[in-house]
């Protein structure tokens, strides 16, 4: 089942790139909790599909040409550590944006139901009980 979980996370990111947030929502449980833990736009927990839409709406408001590229997916049983490179340009400044966040994605019944975003890969690995 864990390799299936890796593929679900991969498909969620790829669906966002192809179809936008609406396309990727089919991979998220309606009761999802998504927590940003450090220097994301704000530190908060977003709940449900509406919460995820608010989170991504914040990114869309701040950045142009926003891209999400999978750098690494690590099988951690019922969790997947997803390292994602986020690129684009600041909407107000025009400055390039190139950040990498690692996410611990928890899955059940083929859906992502919990995401915690970390600015450091090592923090995400530790949170999932893994080591470098």
Per cent of the chain over pLDDT 90 is 65
Give me the residues paired with residue 132 across strands: none
Q: Residue 1 is inside which H or E element, if any?
A: none
pLDDT at 8: 97
Q: What architecture does CATH give domain 2-127? A: Roll (3.10)
Q: What is the pLDDT of residues 17-69, one digit of tens each?
A: 899 889 999 999 999 999 987 665 678 899 999 999 998 888 888 888 888 89
Domain boundaries, the chain: 2-127
Spatial CA neighbour of 127 closest among 84, 68, 80: 80
∠ CA 56-3-80, rounded to 5°: 40
Spatial CA neighbour of 31 closest among 84, 103, 126, 109: 109
Summarize the confidence of residues 115-126 as an average pLDDT.
93
Give the global pTM. Answer: 0.90
């Amino acid at each position: 089942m864990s390799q299936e979980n890796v593929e679900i996370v991969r498909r969620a990111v790829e669906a966002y790139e192809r179809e936008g947030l609406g396309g990727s929502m089919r991979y998220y449980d309606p009761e999802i909790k998504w927590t940003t833990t450090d220097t994301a736009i704000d530190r908060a927990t977003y709940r449900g599909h509406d919460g995820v839409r608010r989170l991504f709406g914040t990114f869309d408001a701040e950045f142009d040409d926003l891209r999400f590229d999978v750098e690494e997916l690590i099988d951690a049983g019922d969790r997947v550590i997803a390292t994602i490179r986020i690129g684009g340009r600041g909407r107000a400044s025009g400055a390039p944006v190139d950040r990498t966040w690692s996410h611990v994605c928890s899955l059940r019944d083929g859906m992502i139901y919990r995401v915690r975003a970390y600015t450091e890969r090592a923090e995400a690995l530790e949170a999932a009980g893994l080591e470098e």
